[in-house]
Amino acid sequence: MPLPPRPHISLSALTVHHRKTLALDALTLDFERGVHGLLGPNGAGKTSLIRVLATVAPATAGRVEVLGHDLADRRALPAVRRRLGYLPQDFGFYPGFTVREFVAYVAWLKELSRETTGAAVERALERVGLGDRADARMKTLSGGMLRRAGIAQALVNEPDVLLLDEPTAGLDPEQRVEFRELLRDVGRDAAVLVSTHLVEDVAAACTEVTLLAEGRVAYRGTTEQLAALGADPAEAGDHPIERGYTAALRHHRATAPSAAGVTR
C-alpha cells in the first residue's frame, strides 16, 4: 500500500480552548513519518494536541489534517480512527478482562476483521513483551505491565499515526530501553508522536523534537540540534538534551510576547 503523499499530520493555525483556558494557540506544524518527541512544561498543551489528533477532542479553530483527511469532516473520522493508535495519559480497563481480551477488545473497536484479530493481538503483545502474560487478568498487572498493555492496544491495528501520551511512566529502565527500540521500529513507517517528561526517552528514540510552551511552539528541531543548544555546561540540567530544553524554553520566554507561565 503506498504511503499518503501528504504529511501524516498537518496542522494550520490549530487553536484549542478549554472553557476559558487557551490550550493551543494557532499551532502550525507538520509531522512526517518518524518518531517525534513532544516536550514542554506542564500545561504547555501537549495532551491537548494529542487529544485533538486522536480525534477525541475537537479543535476550536484552525485546520487539522490527519492522513490526508480533514478532521472537521465527521464522515472522515472513521477512516482516520481505523489508522490511528492512541495511548491516553490515563487509560482504564475492564478489570476482569485478560490482557489478550483487552487488546482484542480494542482491535474490535478499531474494526479489525475477525480473521486478522487473533494474529494482530498476539503480535502486539509480543512487541511489548507481554506474550507470556496474555492470559493474566488486567487487574493483576503491575504498573509497568499495564502501561505495556496500553501500548499494545495502541499498536494492535498497526497504525499509520501513533499517539502516545506519557508512555514511559511506570516503565523500569530496561523496559524503557526496549520501548525506545519499539518506537524506532514503528517510526520507520508511521508518524509517532510521543509526549513525555523524560528527556532521555527523547534523546534515545526521537528523530525530531517539538517543544511546546503555553500552547505555542517554543522550539523545533532534530534531537541533535536540541542537544547542541545544551552544549554549554553552565545551563541547568544533567544531560545535553535537558540543557537544550532549558535553553530553548528560556529563549522562547524571553522573546515570545506573551504572559509567561499563565497556566503553569
Place of cell 501520551: 165
Strand order from edge to edge, sheet including 216-222: 84-87, 161-165, 191-195, 34-39, 208-213, 216-222
The nearer residue to another protein, 166 or 208, going by C-beta atoms, is: 166
The residue from 13, 29, 77, 228 that contacts another protein (CB under 8 A) is 77
The nearer residue to another protein, 251 or 264, going by C-beta atoms, is: 264
Q: What is the DSSP letter of 3?
A: P
Residues 112-171 that bind another protein (CB under 8 A): 114-123, 125-129, 131-132, 134-135, 153, 158-160, 166
The nearer residue to another protein, 71 or 247, going by C-beta atoms, is: 71
The nearer residue to another protein, 95 or 251, going by C-beta atoms, is: 95
Q: Is there a contact between 14 and 62 (Cβ–Cβ < 8 Å)?
A: yes
152: Cβ–Cβ under 8 A, 6 or more apart, which residues?
99, 103, 124, 125, 127, 128, 130
The nearer residue to another protein, 45 or 62, going by C-beta atoms, is: 45
The residue from 6, 30, 58, 260 that contacts another protein (CB under 8 A) is 58
Strand partners, 88: none
Least distance (Å) between residue 76 CB and another protein: 11
Residues 3-32 that bind another protein (CB under 8 A): 3, 18-19, 21, 23
Least distance (Å) between residue 228 CB and another protein: 29
The nearer residue to another protein, 70 or 111, going by C-beta atoms, is: 111
Stretch that binds another protein, among 185-193, 217-225, 235-243, 249-257 (CB under 8 A): 185-193
The nearer residue to another protein, 127 or 216, going by C-beta atoms, is: 127
Stretch that binds another protein, among 61-69, 82-90, 139-147, 238-246 (CB under 8 A): 82-90
Q: Is 100 in the site for another protein (CB under 8 A)?
A: yes
CA angle (200 as vertex; 106, 173 as ends), nearest 5? 65
Q: Which three cell numbers stand for residue 74?
A: 465527521
Residue 127 CA to residue 2 CA, distance in Å, equals 24
- Integer-rounded Cα Rg, in Å, for the chain is 18
Least distance (Å) between residue 113 CB and another protein: 8
Neighbours of 246 (CB within 10 A): 16
Residue 103 CA to residue 111 CA, distance in Å, equals 12
Q: What is the DSSP letter of 264?
A: -
The residue from 13, 15, 60, 178 that contacts another protein (CB under 8 A) is 178
The residue from 48, 168, 210, 223 that contacts another protein (CB under 8 A) is 48
Residues 205-244 that bind another protein (CB under 8 A): none
Residue 182: in which H helix or E strand, if any?
helix 173-187
Q: What is the DSSP letter of 4?
A: P
Least distance (Å) between residue 225 CB and another protein: 27
